[in-house]
Structure 1
Amino acid sequence: MTSESLQPQGAPARRTVVAAVGATGLALGLGACGSDEPPSSGAGAADHGGSGGSAAAGSGGVLARTADIPEGGGKVFAAQGVVVTQPAKGRFEAFSSTCTHQGCAVNRVADGVISCPCHRSEFSAADGSVKKGPATRPLPAKKISVAGDEIRLA
C-alpha cells in the first residue's frame, strides 16, 4: 500500500501539494526578477532614517535637514522615492531610490556608494553612475533645493 492510497477521500495527494508549493515559490522568485525596466511607482522602498522626512515633502515640504545627511553617505526616503547624498561637505545630491536593474529599492548609502540589496548593484553617491553591476544605467537624478539647513524636493 502506498502513502497516497492512505489519503482521506477527496484530499490532494502529497505530490500534488509539494508540486503546488514548489510552483508558488518559483512564481514568487521569478516575480522578483522581472524586466530591466523600473516599476511605475516607488512602492517597496524603505525609509532608513530617523527624523526629517514627511509626506508633505513630495510637494515641496522639508524633506530633511542638512545635518540628517552624513558626509560621504546619505539617506533613503521611501515615501518620496528618493535618496539624498552628501558626497562632499556641503554638496547635496538626490537620485531616484529605485534601482535601474530590476526596480528594487536601494537601502543604504555609505562610503560614497548607494547600494541595492536585491542583486548588489552599487551606484556613485556623487552622480548616480553605476559603480558595480548588474545594473547598467545610472540612478536618475532628482531635483532638490537647499536653503539654510532645509533640503526640499523640488
Structure 2
Amino acid sequence: MPGRPAPSRRTVLRSAAATPVAGLGLAACSPGDDGAAPARPTAPVDLGADGDVAKGATKLFPDGNVVVSRAADGSLKAFSTVCTHAGCPIRKLEGTKLVCNCHGSEFDARTGEVLHAPATVPLVELPVSVEQGRIVASPGT
C-alpha cells in the first residue's frame, strides 16, 4: 500500500510462527488423546498382583503410565512411561524397549535410559513396592 511502511522481517517471522498451518498433523504431536499431557502418578497406583511380573520380565501398565521390571533377584524397578521428549504416553513395549509413537524416542524399560533420540532425558524412576501381594508404584518426588 502506498504510504504504509513494509513490515520488518522480524514482524513477518513472528506472524508466521504464531499462525497455525493446516495439514501439519499437529494432533499427532499432542501429548494425550484428549490433548492433555499424561501425568506421572500423583497417588500410589495398584498395578496388579505380585505374580504379574515374573523374575527377568518387564510389563507395561498403560493405564497407570508405568512400566515395571523384575530383576533375577526378585527386586522391582518402575518408571513413568510419559516420554521425556514431548510428554506423550508410551504405549508400546518390545521386549525391554519402550517405543514412543509420537516421535520415535526409545527407552530401556529396565533402566529408564534413552536408547534413541529425540528424547535426551531418561524416564523418571518411581518408587515401587509389594504391599499385601500387590505391586504398587508411588509418585516420584
Tell me the TM-score range normalised by the shorter chain.
0.5 to 0.7
The one of 39, 47, 52 aligned to 1:68: 52
Are the counterparts in 2 of residues 81 and 96 from structure 1 also a CA contact under 8 Å?
A: yes
Alpha-carbon distance in 2 for matches of 1:136, 1:99? 10
CA distance in 1, matches of 2:133, 2:87: 31
The answer for the alignment partner of 1:42 in structure 2 is 38
Q: Which runs of 5+ in 1 are unaligned?
A: 1-22, 44-56
Shift of 1:112: 1.9
8 Å Cα contact 2:108/2:114 also seen in 1: yes
> Deviation of residue 40 (structure 1)?
7.7
Q: Which of residues 22, 25, 30 is equivalent to 2:23? A: 25
Matched position secondary structure for 2:23: helix
Tell me the TM-score normalised to structure 2 length: 0.62
Q: Determine what percentage of the aligned residue pairs are the same residue.
A: 31
Residue in structure 2 matched with residue 145 of structure 1 by the alignment: 129
Deviation track 1:25-58 (CA, whole Å, cap 9, x = no partner) reads 22x4277179xxxx98416xxxxxxxxxxxxx96
1:94–1:144 Cα contact (<8 Å) kept: yes
The CA deviation string for residues 89-143 of structure 1, in whole angstroms up to 9 with x for no partner, is 6232111111011111111223221221222211112210111111100001111
Q: Which amino acid aligns with 1:139?
A: L
Residue 76 of structure 2, aligned match among 59, 73, 92? 92
Q: Which runs of 5+ in 2 are unaligned?
A: 1-20
Task: Name the count of aligned residue pairs.
Answer: 115
Q: CA–CA distance in 1 between the matches of 2:45 and 2:90? A: 22
Root-mean-square deviation (Å)? 3.4
Greater fraction of residues in helix: 1
2:104 partner letter: R
CA, structure 1 residues 92+66, in 2 after alignment: closer, same or farther (shift >3 Å)?
A: same
Query: TM-score, structure 1 length as denominator?
Result: 0.58
Q: Residue type matched to 2:94 in 1?
A: A
